[in-house]
Amino acid sequence: MDLIAALSALAMGVLEGLTEFLPISSTGHLILLGQLIGFEGPPGKVFEISIQLGAILAVIWIYRRTLWDLALGMWRPGRERFYATNLILAFLPAMAIGLLLHKTITTLLFNPTVVCIALILGGIAIILIERMRPAPRIHSVPEIGPLAALLVGFGQALAMIPGTSRSGATIITALLLGVDRKTAAEFSFVLAIPTMLAASAYSLWKVRDQIGSESLAQIGIGFLAAFVVAFVTVRAVLAVIGRIGFTPFGWYRIALGTIGLVGMFLLG
């Protein structure tokens, strides 16, 4: 592996870790950066899936105590059962719709133009919802309730469109349902664990024949970078999101999407 390949893998891993759990679309950013630097990773989607697993592992580590409590307490009545039930209900729509439409969406929509349009539309939605959302009445994940959790799950399913953002879709849906910002962010982050693990396992199985030892160094660099940056990013978001809100991310999405469209137009 040469220096350029190593630096490209590092850049992609850092970007994955930074954007996966922010409402700005990690997939969209990776598509745009890949186009910009001419990134060529291992065959298939092995590299992209691997760095996503790095980001997931960071969230698993951050919420390890919550996950352990859920594993022990979900079998008896109480807060842990409500929490686990909400996760399962929110996970189901993305699983079902993903199995039905994953191939179609990846074939037709994974291109920079779709990403830029989705970034702009999602940014507008975030700004409007932050201004118009109802007063928060739900302040913990177990309080969300089955119907609201299912609706958040349908919001998450929209994130299969590149540029939409999985975390953005789940968070703004939760805000519309009266969930406070920090709880919406926590639910989005923890919901990412089963959702992204299932999607990654499915994708890796499909490309299992293309995984080779020659790409392990590049994968390792991206994986480690994604883990470290995601860990720092999630901790920072949880610390400040109650104060700053999500509006700055909306404006960022609009700016990035607009720059992307203008750049593609000028370059022909």
Neighbours of 55 (CB within 10 A): 29
CA distance 105 to 150: 22
Residue 212: per-residue pLDDT: 65
Per-position b or e across 4-30, b if 16+ CB within 10 A of its CB: ebeebbebbbbbbbbbbbbbbbbbbbb
Residue 268: per-residue pLDDT: 63
pTM across the whole model: 0.88
Mean pLDDT of 222-229: 96
Return the domain boundaries, the chain: 3-8+19-37+44-266
Residue 228: per-residue pLDDT: 97
The CA angle 192-193-196, to the nearest 5 degrees, is 70
**What are φ and ψ of residue 179, in 5° steps?**
-85, 140
pLDDT at residue 44 is higher than 60:
no
Q: What is the pLDDT of residues 55-69, one digit of tens each?
A: 999 999 999 999 999
**Mean residue pLDDT across the chain:** 89
Q: What is the pLDDT of residues 91-122, one digit of tens each?
A: 999 888 877 877 777 777 778 889 899 999 99
